Amino acid sequence: MPFLLFLLLGAAVIMRGQSATEPPPRPEDTPALPAEEAIEEPGAEPESPPGRPVNDWLEAQVELHRRGFSCGSIDGVRGAQTAAALKAWQKNEGLRESGDLDRATKAALLLSEPALTDYIFTVEDSAATAAVPDTWLGKSELDALRHATPLEMIAERFRANPKLLAKVNPGVNWDDLLPGTRLVVPSADPVLAPGKVARIHIYLAEKILQAVDETGRILLHSPVSIARNVEKRPVGELHVTVVIPDPNYTFDPVVFPEVPEAQELGRKLIIAPGPNNPVGVAWIGLDRTGYGIHGTPDPEKVGRTESHGCFRLANWDARVLVRLAWVGLPVTVDP
């Protein structure tokens, strides 16, 4: 009997030792939902393991972003930008370009890691936010155009729609986000396929930009905004003349005749770099005066016809493209 008791106690110790070495539970990837709905709050199911087919549109968006196929801001919904990104990826993989999570697509689009992860909001994060003035003069007086709010910062850093962040972080007070707060965020850092960009294609009708290698394989896909006025949309072949990460911006009143403040100022202003700079975090100049590809502090507005002529990307896509672009790179703009 004492020997049996010894065996039972030993087994209990071993079981306790195994449990202690296991990682603490993390927020799970959300369950599948109809295409028109965003995800629900996490926590009901175990974490989705990597190496399996994507289960829903949130997972698909995150995995596409990881592979260089930007869907705009991640929201868990199959919108037009998500469908376009999926079609581009399907084209690369030789699949039917359905824009849907059909059986063949799910078999090929495997999660490289769980779609959601944890992030701790830091003191440095809090210090890196500041209100952005409404006037051009006010902007010019700052040493940097930082993120205006913690929500804006986290949304841009993790390519997330603010509505998604609110849903997966119930109870978080974004208006008073304190350092040390644990947040659930998409894990969507891109790991691009190897290769050198040989050409950028901008498709005006579809409002998409694609950087391809010499074989035509897509290395980067993203939604893009184009000029509001048709006559200001360049068509044909252009070339990159300059590549500048984190640029400043020269405000020229002549370019903004519709802005009353511009006419009152009557002079140019220099706007400091930062995510809320008018050209975002990157400027890729083209060989047409005043035209370029650049970032924007308003990612939810990307994919529209509202620029003065330049091509706008979400800041996260602009950061990737500025690392891939080079002076002399051909840029073909298709109608």
Query: Is position 294 annotated as part of the catalytic site?
Result: yes
CA-CA-CA-CA torsion sign (80, 183, 281, 319)? negative
Which listed residue (65, 71, 147, 310) is catalytic?
310
Which listed residue (65, 147, 221, 294) is catalytic?
294
Query: Is position 71 annotated as part of the catalytic site?
Result: no
Residues 300-327 as b or e (16 or more Cβ within 10 Å = b): eebbeeebebbbbbbbbbbbbbbebbee
Instruction: Give the dihedral of Cα atoms 111, 165, 159, 234; nearest 10 deg.
Output: 130
H or E stretch including 168?
helix 162-168
Q: Report residue 189: phi and psi, to 5°.
A: -60, 130
DSSP 200: E
Give pairs for 40-47: CB < 8 Å, separation 24+: 40/167, 41/167, 41/168, 41/170, 42/116, 42/168, 42/184, 47/114
Strands 282-286 and 236-245: antiparallel
Catalytic residues: 294, 310
